[in-house]
Chain A
Amino acid sequence: KNEVEQSPQNLTAQEGEFITINCSYSVGISALHWLQQHPGGGIVSLFMLSSGKKKHGRLIATINIQEKHSSLHITASHPRDSAVYICAVKGTAGSYQLTFGKGTKLSVIP
């Protein structure tokens, strides 16, 4: 089974700071998902990637397949970015199961 580790577990930043959240996994994958869980509990998909880099607004996700590592970057952070960010990976076998990290709780202070 894939082991997914996220770091840091908790992160507090000042508004405007550049933020990096890391995700490492133990076994080769076919896709990696980044999710955002709002303080109210709802979960939305931010990115799905299998190689390279993706950008959406102030969010950037990168993945290094050889190093089994992905990062989520937030530029010019804002209090509304405060949420739990979750990494999830799908194995290369024909499975419909994702393995989820425990999440990184981000708090952005004005």
Chain B
Amino acid sequence: NAGVTQTPKFRVLKTGQSMTLLCAQDMNHEYMYWYRQDPGMGLRLIHYSVGEGTTAKGEVPDGYNVSRLKKQNFLLGLESAAPSQTSVYFCASTYGGLVLEDSGELFFGEGSRLTVL
């Protein structure tokens, strides 16, 4: 049981390049999230999905797009990378909506370190 898998683990981009981060979960979870983690700040939500075919904006969505074509996969795209997008990106999933009654325990991927030059 792999849990939540992110690819790639590391990537260096030049300003203006595009890339896609892939998150895959094998736990049949409905909810998936993309967060970024920056030094001195708490994790911040970029986009999330409450089920296959759905996506929604989080706290810091600008410059990112997402897709959830299959229940197990949640893709995060950067169309034109900027140095401000240098960060560590975490994907997470939950069976339910982040509360006990909904089995909302969070499962995280190992993180993807992105550097934009």
Contacts and interface: CB of A to CB of B under 8 A. Distances in A.
Contacts, number: 64
A41 B88 contact: yes
Contacts of A45: 105-108
Size class of B's contact patch? 20 to 34
| Chief secondary structure at chain A's binding surface | strand
Size class of A's contact patch? 20 to 34
B42 to A, nearest CB: 3
Given A31-B100, A96-B48, A96-B98, A4 B108 contact: no
A50 interface: yes
Contacts of B97: 96
Interface of B: 31, 33, 40-45, 48, 50, 56, 58-59, 88, 90, 92, 97-100, 104-108, 110-111
16 contacts: A4-B42, A31-B99, A33-B98, A35-B106, A41-B111, A42-B108, A42-B111, A45-B105, A45-B106, A48-B105, A96-B33, A96-B56, A96-B98, A97-B48, A101-B42, A102-B40
Interface of A: 4, 30-31, 33, 35, 41-45, 48-50, 86, 88, 90, 96-103
